[in-house]
Structure 1
């Protein structure tokens, strides 16, 4: 089993050669000693400035092997001023809209089951959602989904999209989803017991997500099987820090979130 330090960070092989990557604006990297993850917003002589998803800026030295790009150590270098600028992309892979401001929120919404689901969606699709004026909220479970839908009051100009965990045939979640019958509501889901599993194991440096026996708390069982500390909150922060773009997520989640965004933003969906 691979060994981890108390902060769950795998040991990096400092002796291995690493690539040099131009610190182009919009490039998303992580500074491993602090765990700070953000997009490049500036690069001066000897330093690079990153902006995280909350808008916080931090400057770091351009040290050899000083950053992680998609989980791999790299050396950031100042970009060549003569090189043509490549089209910038968001973490979801969409073309970024230069200078775009967040739109006023639509009447429609996307609901997800829990806080971790919402944070993961924000991590990858946050920029796109702000441009489209889509708000994501979490429900703390879907047991009361029919009542939630009724209270929301969906309509042609207020579509509702819902992302459900463990939406597989015969599950409790599938029966609840089937009970929602409204043309202005789209309920989709992924097959994973928890949204943690939607993060690719390769992005975390593990061979696979462990199987947790029935009757055990899944997150606690995962931490135990991987030799991580039992603090599931810390485990999630570690997992989320390893998600830099859509490449770190499984297609079964990617497709469903894109489907919900398209549904909520269909022509005619009103902006408040």
Structure 2
């Protein structure tokens, strides 16, 4: 018969000291006692905050052998103060420490609605300020040909337009086809609404639901997911889950990057 062990110390804390690992931001570890797995988002004296892939956060003490890194016990320690490491913006671009916003270019990027503009700002805001690119929303593109004509694009004032549901045969594709201007670039994504350009896993859902034709898409999504039918509140919830380009679908990423490149080719700045 095995002798009774009066030592109640968890097994992962009884062995030899584990390697010390700095709790740097974005380091993914598992808390040994609870199995909670997440990325480091903060480290204060004596504690570390982890966030899992669903956005849930928990605070744990920095105890010896308290975490698993790639399955092996480690002791997390607070990162040593030192020269700031190169970091990246939410879009994945290399951040420029201390960079000031550039005077706005004459060119513009137009998007369909407020949610589109807020999502672009969320991910590309730092890049847009450095490049001096202003994003404005149109509240729909039904009058796009007239809007482009009024803007008067030219070599020194390029115009980029981001369109929802830009697929063959859609109303949006027919409107976009009416615009023919060498200095205007119209690109889009295939989704009925920009909500669906956010990866479902980032929002904590298996997939974006199919909404019957003729029903308001946003309201239908809320209803299908069991959310309160408050589309404003639903959007704020979705937007809060977007932390970087990794939370967005590639079709939107490519479209926005293309627009930024188009607008920033040459052109003067204006006060």
Q: TM-score if structure 2 supplies the norm length?
A: 0.76
Distance (whole Å) between structure 1 residues aligned to residue 57 and residue 34 of structure 2: 11
Q: CA deviation at 1:16?
A: 3.9
- CA distance in 1 between counterparts of 2:256 and 2:94 reads 17
1:271 alignment partner in structure 2: 269
The number of residue pairs the alignment matches comes to 223
Distance 1:225 1:20 in 2: 30
RMSD: 2.3
Q: Does 2:17 match 1:18? A: no
1:236 match: secondary structure: helix
Cα distance, 1:72 vs structure 2 = 5.2
Q: Give the direction of change, closer, same or farther, for the CA distance of 1:164–1:208 in structure 2 (3 Å limit).
A: same
TM-score (norm 1): 0.76
- The residue aligned with 1:142 is 141
Q: 1:132 to 1:68 in 2, by over 3 A?
A: farther
Aligned residue in 2 for 1:125 = 124
Report the alpha carbon displacement of residue 68 of structure 1 after superposing the two structures with TM.
5.7
Q: Is the contact between residue 186 and residue 260 of structure 1 (CA under 8 Å) also seen in structure 2? A: yes
Identify the match of residue 71 of structure 1 among 55, 60, 66: 55
Q: 2:219, 2:231 within 8 Å by CA — same for their partners in 1?
A: yes
Q: Equivalences for 1:190-209 in 2 at 5 Å?
A: 190-209=189-208
| Distance (whole Å) between structure 2 residues aligned to residue 20 and residue 232 of structure 1 | 30
Change (3 A) 1:131 1:79: farther
Residues 71 and 124 of structure 1: CA distance in aligned 2, closer, same or farther (over 3 Å): same
Give 5+ residue unaligned stretches, structure 1.
1-13, 24-42, 47-61
Work out the CA distance in 2 between the residues paired with 1:15 and 1:229. Answer: 32
Query: Larger relative CO (CA 8 A, sep 6+): 1 or 2?
Result: 1
State how far apart, in whole Å, the 1-side matches of 2:38 and 2:170 are. 46
Residue 187 of structure 1 deviates from its aligned partner by: 0.4
Q: Partners in 2 of 1:187 and 1:111 — Cα distance?
A: 9
For 2:221, the equivalent position in structure 1 comes to: 222
Distance 1:233 1:113 in 2: 16
Q: Is 1:155 aligned to residue 154 of structure 2?
A: yes
The 3-state SS of whatever aligns with 2:160 is: strand
Q: Distance in 2 between the 1:97 and 1:22 partners?
A: 21
Q: Secondary structure at the match of 2:99?
A: coil
Q: Structure 1 stretch 79-88 or stretch 121-130: which is displaced more? A: 79-88
Distance 1:64 1:138, change over 3 A: closer
- 8 A contact 1:19–1:75 mirrored in 2: no
Matched, 1:244 2:263: no
